[in-house]
Amino acid sequence: MSEPFVDARTEPDRYRHWTVTNDGPVATVTLAVDPDGGLRAGDYELKTNSYDLSVDIELRDLLERLRFEHPEVRAVVVTGGLDKIFCAGANIQMLATSSHAHKVNFCKLTNETRNSIEDATANSGQVWIAAVNGTAAGGGYELALACDEILLVDDRSSAVSLPEVPLLAVLPGTGGLTRVVDKRHVRRDRADAFATRTEGIRGRQAVEWGLVDAVAPASAFDDLVAERAAARVESADRGAGAEDGPGVALTPIERVETADGLRWSTVSVAIDRQLRAATITVEAPADPQPSTPDELVAAGAEAWVLAAARDLDDAILHLRFNEPEVGTWLLATSGDPAAVLAAESVIVPPPDGPEHWLAREVRLLWARVLKRLDVSARSLFALIEPGSCFAGLLVELALAADRSYMLEGTWEDPDRDTELPAPTLELSSLNLDGLPMGNGLSRLASRFWGRPADLAVAAAEVGRALDGPEAEEVGLVTAAMDDIDWEDEIRVMIEERASFSPDALTGMEANHRFVGPETLETKIFARLTAWQNWIFQRPNAVGPEGALQRFGTGSRPDFDRRRV
C-alpha cells in the first residue's frame, strides 16, 4: 500500500483529536480521537482512543504552542476524553497495513514527541501530569510514562499495561520498556511480569510496583489531579518575564514547491534525484534582528532565530516522510556569518541571573531540531563553501554531519560566483554547552570524545573565524580542499554513498553519531529503535500468520519458535 503524503504542519482550528483548555497556570490537554480522522481515512478506524500519525502531529503542535504561546502555563494535565479509556495506544489496523518505513518513521516521530514532553518538564517549567482516567494500554501508557507524574483512577477496571509482546509480537515502540526500568525504576522481575501481562495492573498494586504515582477513586480523582497540578505550579520555573505578558503566536509555516525542491522563508531544499541527494540550505538573516528579550518577544515568530528553527524542522520531517529514497542530505548555509552570530546572541544563556523564558524556549527548540537531525536515517555531509555562514548555532550543522568538507579560499572557476567571500567557520559559546545531543554532550564534545586535549584546543578557538586549513588543523572539518579538486571529490563522495546499502549505512551512522554516555534518549533511539526496526520485519510479527495480521481475527499467530 502506498503511503499518503505527510504534512507535519497543523493549527488548533484543524485539530480533530485533541482539545486544550487553560485555567491560569494549569492547562488540560484532552485526547478524544475522531475514529474517522486518521491519516488514511477509510482504511482503518481509530477506535477506543487509539492513534496514528495524525494524532501525534497534533500533539507535537500543541506541545510547541503551549511552550511558546502560553508562558503563564506551569502545569499541563493530559487526560482521556472517552469513558473509561485514557488511550489504547497505536492503532493495530494501521500498523498491520502500513509499510515498514512508515511504521518506523511513525514510531520515531512519536518518540521525539514523548521526549519533547520530558523536555518541557525538565527545562521549560511546564510540568506534565498524566491523569489516567481509564485504561492506558501500550502507547497510551507510554504517553503517561513521558509525563513527570502519573495518577490513575481506582475504579476496579482501569489499568496500565504494555501488551505488545504477548498480543502483537512487537515491542512497546515509544520508550515504554526503557522508561519503566530506567525512569520509574521498576524492578526488573516486576517489569518482566508487567510487560507480558496483557490485562495490565490496576489500583494499589500499580502504585506498589512504581508504575503510577498515586491512585484515587472516581469520586476523588478530580481533586487529586487538581491538588497535584497546584503543587507542581508552585515549584515550576518558567523563566524570567513569563509573568509579564502574552506569549508568541506560532504563525503558519509557509512552504512553497520550486522546480527542484522546496522553499521556506529561511531554508531551501534542492533535490538531485539522479544522485538521490538533497541540499538543505539555511540562510542567514538579511535584516537587523532582536538583540534583547523584549525585542525578541515583539518580533515573535518573524525573528530569524525562531523562524529558521521552525523551517528547518519542517524540512527535516518533510524529507523523512515524503522523500525516503533521497538518502544523502547535504547541509549548507548562505549569508553573513556576523548576522548569524548577532541573531543568536539573544538566546545565549546569561552568565548569571535567570534566563528569559522566550530566549530559553527558542534555544531549546534549536536543541530539539538538531536532535531530530541527529536521529534521521540519512547520510549527512556539510559543504562549507564561499558565501556560507557556518557560525555559532549553524556550526552545529557541520558538527552533526557524518563528514564535513570546506573549500580553501574562493572560487576560481569563472562559471561560479567568484565574488563570494571565502568560507570561514566560527564557534560560539552555544557550541560548548548550549545545544546538547541526546547523549547529554555537546556535538563538539562528542566529536572529540576521549580526546580532552583536542577538545580544549577546539574550544579555545571560540570567537575566531577559521579558514579551511585552520579548521582542518583544529579537527573541525574532515578535509579542506581547493577549487581544483572540489567538484569532482564531492560528486564522487555522493555517488559512492548512494552505491552502498541504505540499511548498512543507517546502522553505521547511528553507531558513529552517539559516542560517550548512554542516556534515556540514546537507549530509546539506539537500542529500542534498532530492535523495533528489526522486529517489524520478522514474520512472527508481520508475516501472513504473524501476530499483527492475526490480531482481532480470533485465530492465534503461528510463530517460528527458533530464537535468533
Q: What is the pLDDT of residues 146-159, one digit of tens each?
A: 999 999 999 999 99
Mean pLDDT of 67-85: 97
Pairing outcome for strands 89-90 and 50-51: parallel
Domains of the chain: 12-235 (3.90.226.10), 256-509 (3.90.226.10)
Q: What is the pLDDT of residues 10-51, one digit of tens each?
A: 999 999 999 999 999 999 999 999 999 999 988 999 999 999
What's the pLDDT at 400? 98
3-state secondary structure of 258: coil
Mean pLDDT of 476-503: 95
- Using the predicted structure, report yes or no on whether residue 360 has a pLDDT greater than 60: yes
Which backbone phi and psi does 503 adopt, to 5 degrees?
A: -65, -45
Pairing outcome for strands 149-153 and 214-216: parallel
Amino acid letter for position 166: P
User: Cα separations (Å) of 396 from 402, 432, 446, 507?
Assistant: 12, 10, 12, 22
Strand partners, 387: none
Which backbone phi and psi does 183 adopt, to 5 degrees?
A: -100, -45
C-alpha cell at 310: 521552525
Closest CA to 276 of 337, 324, 317, 234: 324
Amino acid letter for position 256: V
Q: What is the pLDDT of residues 381-411, one digit of tens each?
A: 999 999 999 999 999 999 999 999 999 999 9
- Using the predicted structure, report yes or no on whether residue 482 has a pLDDT greater than 60: yes
* Longest CA span, the chain: 79
pLDDT confidence band for 71 (50 / 70 / 90): very high
Strand partners, 329: 278, 380
- Using the predicted structure, report yes or no on whether residue 528 has a pLDDT greater than 90: no
Q: What is the DSSP letter of 528?
A: I
What's the pLDDT at 531? 83
Q: What is the pLDDT of residues 161-216, one digit of tens each?
A: 999 999 999 999 889 999 999 999 999 999 999 999 999 999 999 999 999 999 99
C-alpha cell at 301: 515568530
Helical H segments across 179-261, by residue range? 188-195, 203-209, 218-235
What's the pLDDT at 418? 87
pLDDT confidence band for 505 (50 / 70 / 90): very high
Q: Rounded distance, CA 107 to CA 414, Å?
A: 48
Pairing outcome for strands 267-272 and 261-263: antiparallel
Q: Rounded distance, CA 291 to CA 339, Å?
A: 11
What's the pLDDT at 564? 82
Q: Which residues are catalytic?
A: 142, 164
Size of the chain in residues: 564
pLDDT confidence band for 352 (50 / 70 / 90): confident
| DSSP H/E element including 265 | none
Closest CA to 57 of 123, 99, 116: 116
Those residues with Cβ within 8 angstroms of residue 244's Cβ, 6 or more apart along the chain or in another chain: none
Q: pTM for the full model? A: 0.97
- Please tell me the least confidently modeled range out of 9-23, 144-158, 265-279, 548-562: 548-562
What's the pLDDT at 562? 92
Q: Exposed, middle or buried, 261 (CB in 10 Å: 0-12/13-18/19+)?
A: buried
Those residues with Cβ within 8 angstroms of residue 2's Cβ, 6 or more apart along the chain or in another chain: none
Give per-residue burial for 2-26: e unless 16+ CB within 10 Å, then b.
Answer: ebbebebebeeeebebbebeeeebb
| SS3 sequence of 116-164 | HHHHHHHHCCCEEEEEECCEEECHHHHHHHCCCEEEEECCCCCEEECCH
Mean pLDDT of 446-461: 98
3-state secondary structure of 485: helix
Q: Taking a C-beta distance cutoff of 8 angstroms, is the pair 389, 337 a contact?
A: yes
Arithmetic mean of pLDDT over the chain: 95
Conformation bin of residue 232: beta by default, left when phi > 0, alpha when psi is -120 to 50: alpha
C-alpha cell at 452: 580532552
Which backbone phi and psi does 37 adopt, to 5 degrees?
A: -105, 25
- Using the predicted structure, report yes or no on whether residue 1 has a pLDDT greater than 60: no
Q: What is the pLDDT of residues 487-499, one digit of tens each?
A: 999 999 999 999 9
Which backbone phi and psi does 370 adopt, to 5 degrees?
A: -70, -35
